[in-house]
Structure 1
Amino acid sequence: MDHDELREWSKRAADWVHDYHASLRDRPVRAQVGPGQVAAQLPTSAPESAEPMEQIISDFDRIVPGAMTHWQHPRFFAYFPANAAPASMLAEQLANGMAAQAMLWQTAPAANEIESVMMGWLRDALGLADHFTGTIHDSATTATLSAVLTMREQALGWEGNKAGLSALPRLRLYASAETHSSVDKAARIAGIGQENLIKIPTDMHDAMKPGALAGAIRADRAEGYVPTGLILCAGGTAIGAFDRIADTIEVAKSEGLPVHVDAAWGGSAMICPEFRNLWEGVDGADSIVFNPHKWLGAQFDCAVQFLADPAPQIRTLGLRPDYLQTLGRDEIVNYNEWTVPLGRRFRALKLWFVLRAYGLEGLRNRIRNHVAWSRELRDALAALPEVEIVTEPNLSLFSFALSSGDRATEELLARINDDGRVYLTQTRARGRFVIRVQVGQFDCTREDVMTVRDVVAELKEGLE
């Protein structure tokens, strides 16, 4: 394929994408295939000679769409969304066409400087203090790892990267049980270890207890451990839990510990001023992550990390060998030094397009609708016989179960997802197997949301 052919096939691909999205409501949300069915349709080795694009596209159409879970389906209420607004898709097409590797300012000046400006736009949109700056990572996992690595180096007097960890003191991280598994992964990869990630008890509102945090830090110091940092939750994945940000930051700061706030999902809602009480005190954090690819329509992947002071993270992660120097430009920001990978995509372009194409007020209205529809659905499900609301809505996320127990609830979830009209997932809360409902798909309507009630009412019949 050459660029002339690319132009023609790109137009046909755009038509396919349009038709695909127009047909999503007619498709089952979750993939209706078993393991190995896709692989069985593919040759076992690559072709020796070029094949016609017509055949390649035909095979794609035959094999792929029916074997995909449709994340842009308006009745996708599972996990958290990975929204891709049309304006974001367009920006991705343009970024893909340029195919830049934006690792340094000199390799992609526009990508670098637009990223800087977008961090300012988003900081102000979320109501954060002016001292925050930021960068874009692929996902919150990488942002949290970057924050934890920085905590490690600060706690070790910058000796970890240089000397290794084997002869250095044993470190401790603190978080609540509601934090995402990416925090556990960061503790492992950073060499701190799973056993040294201390999960602090939560209160009746699923928030970390500040007193228990203070007690754990004091006990660890007495045992000779080195308290290293605190990771707080602002919209947990399981049930949407929020820690008491101001109170727990006060404890951490009194102990000299840096704080990272995981707001990967919930952070997007902070463009609405009425929700900011949920993370009151966040301006005292050292690091904050939120994912515009979850709830703001910026196509995956796009995770933003705000830093009160980027210098410690740059000292931890930055390397500048001779071949990465921008000669005569020592003052330039090179965002690869703020994160783990050297290579960087032009992710800021989709933020620029989305924020301009929908405006902050348009994005706020979507989030406000999702929160309102979630609460309306909660009430509709609670009115059904044998359905119990287990955790109340945090923003647009809540959970429910059947009164007859875990086995019946698990069977109901299987029926729902095999049925295909909506897609939900599970977690455990209050000692029970529960079904999560989160509303956040970019193009969903109230009618799409209320379909959950109809499906549950129909499919729960006969379960014991």
Structure 2
Amino acid sequence: MAGHMTPEEFRRYGRQVVDWIADYHERIASMPVLSQVKPGDVQDALPARPPEEGEGFEGVLADLERIVLPGVTHWQHPSFFAYFPSNTSGPAILGDLLSSGLGVQGMLWATSPACTEMETRVADWMVDLLGLPAAFRGNGVIQDSASSACLVALLAAVQRTGGSAARDGIDRRHTLYVSSQTHSSLEKAARITGIGSANVRVVDVDPGTLAMDPAHLDALLTEDAAAGAVPVMVCATVGTTSTTAVDPVPAIGEVCRGHGVWLHVDAAYAGVAAVCPEFRWVNDGLAEHADSYSTNPHKWLLTNFDCTLLWLADRAPMIEALSILPEYLRNQATTSGDVIDYRDWQIPLGRRFRALKLWSVIRWYGAEGLRAHIRAGARLADALASWIAADPAFEVRDHHPFGLVCFRPRWAGLAPDEADAATLALMERLNASGDLYLTHTRVGGRVLLRLAVGGPATEERHVRAAWDRIREEAARPTA
């Protein structure tokens, strides 16, 4: 029977694991970007029953290579251009290892003061690095994802509408305002909070920019209030998932102020770009209007998943909505009111020491290193857009301020539906090749390919190779 792993065994196997990860990053470019396994392959390769006796760690590493690796889509591959980047880096991995090694459960200040106080400080560092409003200082928290951040913001907004929602529930129709470009997590948040999908109001967008229309928002808010509804929250997006459209936060904020409605700004992908002064325009309107704001270092800022920052201009409604203190959690520090208990700032009770990995990243790269990474991604996206624009066989969407470029082939002689089918078929062939990985979206009913640049291993040669491969495949006759 295998006993607990001794410190000496941990040292031996730990070195092997670190070596394996380092080797993986060195050879990742030689692997197919998209996993080539078929449904069920990984599960079929795993034993149907767990071992009765411990098997040691050598077999774990062997099966990691034999079973797990073929079933991995390589998000850190230099030719991974799908979705948005989910960056990792050496400092982030080591910070996460330190978090796992400490094994901290940071639900209360008392359960590890360093877990809480480092998180507060690192969130304040990010306020400085991104040039965010001073009101956010001391009011930041790390969530697992933007989905959770939006849900927490919505719960706080519901609480602020009446002050007793957390205790008594929602007693009449409440409404949430999004656009067709808003992330789907907002509709899920409406379901979870009890607002309901049917009460998610979809605001018109400008057909060219895809930005939310403040005039239509104003009309919907007026209409709903007149009908007896309680408008709860408006979600504006800076850098939408589909095309990185940017909602006009200052104008939306004026509408929200006029109606007394909570404004949440979701900048999950694009917000970290503000580490560069030339991107600080993404913060326009936050200081004057935002009740809450979130962005994801785990997308474009070299910090491995999961790490989303949420700030609130006023934390009180959130804590009123989420704070429950059973006897077994009572302690002197909490009772004193002198500390933050982050359990009251999130949905679950338990929480990891996530601040360690973000702290490690900031300490390693410094502001200049982080700026260099963001600028590299934006520069490569600009280069790609210029190459596409110069090719008469393709068209590129004009709006590409960050690291995402949306484009499509001009399929001569094909009707719109046929052209869309051809574009999707092209994407499937490219992804199946293993050479690169793309996703798609629809704008105005038409299919566009999405190519998102921003991985730390991605260089101009990888983007150029992807573009050459796309052109080659698009020109190839198909049956």
**Alpha-carbon contact 2:271-2:282 (below 8 Å) kept:** no
Match of 2:380 among 370, 373, 388: 373
Stretch moving more, 146-155 or 391-400: 391-400
Match of 2:401 among 394, 399, 406: 394
Equivalent-residue separation in structure 2 for 1:346 and 1:463 (angstroms): 53
Equivalent-residue separation in structure 2 for 1:102 and 1:159 (angstroms): 28
Shift of 1:51: 1.4
**Alpha-carbon contact 1:390-1:429 (below 8 Å) kept:** no
Paired-residue identity, %: 40
Stretch moving more, 50-59 or 30-39: 50-59
Is 1:438 aligned to 2:438, yes or no? no
**Alpha-carbon contact 1:233-1:262 (below 8 Å) kept:** yes
Match of 2:125 among 121, 128, 134: 121
SS in 2 for 1:320: coil
SS in 2 for 1:367: helix
Shift of 1:384: 3.0
Shift of 1:381: 2.1
TM-score by length of 2: 0.94
**Alpha-carbon contact 1:176-1:199 (below 8 Å) kept:** yes
Shift of 1:463: 4.8
Equivalent-residue separation in structure 2 for 1:436 and 1:69 (angstroms): 17
Equivalent-residue separation in structure 2 for 1:77 and 1:462 (angstroms): 22
Is 1:173 aligned to 2:187, yes or no? no
Q: Which residue of 2 aligns with 1:94?
A: 98
Q: Which residue of 1 aligns with 2:364?
A: 357
C-alpha offsets along residues 375-412 of structure 1, whole Å, 9 cap, x if unaligned? 11012123334212145313111211122210110111
Is 1:143 aligned to 2:153, yes or no? no
Q: Which residue of 2 aligns with 1:308?
A: 313
Alignment of 1:285-296 (within 5 A): 285-296=290-301
Per the alignment, do residues 424 and 345 of structure 1 end up closer, same or farther by CA in structure 2, a change over 3 Å counting? same
C-alpha offsets along residues 308-342 of structure 1, whole Å, 9 cap, x if unaligned? 01111011111122221221543211111111111
Stretches (4+) displaced over 4 A: none
Q: Which residue of 1 aligns with 2:83?
A: 79
Q: Which residue of 2 aligns with 1:457?
A: 471
Is 1:317 aligned to 2:322, yes or no? yes
C-alpha offsets along residues 266-305 of structure 1, whole Å, 9 cap, x if unaligned? 1110111211223411122000010001111111100000
Match of 2:113 among 109, 113, 134: 109
Shift of 1:170: 0.1
Stretch moving more, 40-49 or 321-330: 321-330
**Alpha-carbon contact 2:133-2:286 (below 8 Å) kept:** no
**Alpha-carbon contact 1:401-1:435 (below 8 Å) kept:** yes
- Look up the equivalent residue of 1:298 and give its one-letter code: T
SS in 2 for 1:65: helix
Equivalent-residue separation in structure 2 for 1:278 and 1:60 (angstroms): 42
SS in 2 for 1:288: strand
Q: Which residue of 2 aligns with 1:44?
A: 48
- Look up the equivalent residue of 1:308 and give its one-letter code: A
TM-score by length of 1: 0.97
Equivalent-residue separation in structure 2 for 1:193 and 1:288 (angstroms): 23
Equivalent-residue separation in structure 1 for 2:82 and 2:160 (angstroms): 38
Is 1:189 aligned to 2:188, yes or no? no
Is 1:7 aligned to 2:50, yes or no? no
RMSD: 1.3
How many matched pairs? 461
Shift of 1:24: 0.9
Q: Which runs of 5+ in 2 are unaligned?
A: 412-418
C-alpha offsets along residues 67-114 of structure 1, whole Å, 9 cap, x if unaligned? 100111111111111111100101111111111111111111111111
Is 1:339 aligned to 2:346, yes or no? yes
- Look up the equivalent residue of 1:41 and give its one-letter code: A
Match of 1:299 among 304, 321, 328: 304
Q: Which residue of 2 aligns with 1:382?
A: 389
- Look up the equivalent residue of 2:5 and give its one-letter code: D
SS in 2 for 1:178: coil
**Alpha-carbon contact 1:408-1:463 (below 8 Å) kept:** no
Equivalent-residue separation in structure 2 for 1:403 and 1:383 (angstroms): 13
